[in-house]
Amino acid sequence: MSATAGNLAVTVEALREQIRRLQAAPRKYLAALRTGVEPFDALLPGGGLPLGQVVELWGERASGRTSLALRAVASAHREGRLCAYVDGPGELYPPAAVAAGVDPSRLLIVRPRTVEHLAWSAVQLVRSGAFACVVLDLTRAPPGTARGEDGVRLSPAEGKRLMDAAGRGGSLLLLLTASEAPADGMLRLRTESRGDRGLSVEVVRSRQGGLGTSTLLPWRALYPELTEGECPWGAQLPPAEAVTVPELVREPSPEREGHRGILGQRPGRDVPMPSLRPMLASEPGLH
């Protein structure tokens, strides 16, 4: 091989390496959803909640699970992304969500009537790739079901479908679980209220390191409007108002196939919100 040909080969390989770095840069940026609560983000192995994975917020009632989930949703909304909330217990209070920074016009709320449709709904939402973050509240069964107050435990098959869907769609799936009914998230965070001191978060399961680390979040980190030492239970929430969440219909596209997102897309931002009406119409247990 001549010297000229050798130099050309080196130049081509150098260009390929630069292209690989440029292509990896946006994926690295999109690898995590940062909540803006610095102690919480620093606790997580990737500096934020990992997109394309299942993260479990596990704790007792009033332990701060929902507050953290709403903070993640609000963070996605500030970036112009869409989110969804599968409200199993039917207890999500829109004024409280708005007080946490959630934009109701960018939040799709789904309230299944049966336990079986909780995981099913989340799979459809996450796999669509249209939402940056999907919250699945398993802390209680839907009203009127026979599961009682002990939380909903996912079957191994349901857990696998949820993880596969998150990986395919590239969305963050947040599971809110009761202490007596943990799920199988790749990252499990135990939440515990410390009274007026704030919220304790501990990494109790992780496949990416950080196991056993914990932090104490003051309530003001989640609710900036609170005064020093004030608990969120004393915060004044805006009056309840009728909240209308528009349905944005996604047009068919040859660029999407098998519910997979396009490489480099930002889930919940570049992909419009899909219409779930056909799926919901075929499932009599949903409304």
The predicted pLDDT at position 248 comes to 44
Question: Which pLDDT tens digit goes with each residue over 91-126?
Answer: 999 998 998 899 999 999 999 989 989 999 999 999
The CATH classification number of 31-281 equals 3.40.50.300
Distance CA 92, CA 139 (A): 12
The predicted pLDDT at position 237 comes to 45
Domain locations along the chain: 31-281
Q: Return the half-sphere exposure (C-beta side, CA atoms, 13 A cut-off) of residue 44.
A: 23
Is 109 buried (19+), middle (13-18) or exposed (0-12) by CB count in 10 A?
A: middle
Question: Which pLDDT tens digit goes with each residue over 165-194?
Answer: 999 899 999 999 887 877 776 788 999 888
Do 110 and 124 meet the contact criterion of CB atoms below 8 Å apart? no
The residue ranges of the chain whose pLDDT is under 50 are 23-29, 235-238, 240, 245-264
Distance CA 174, CA 85 (A): 9
* pTM of the complete model: 0.71
Do 193 and 63 meet the contact criterion of CB atoms below 8 Å apart? yes
Distance CA 41, CA 48 (A): 5
Q: Which amino acid is at 159?
A: G
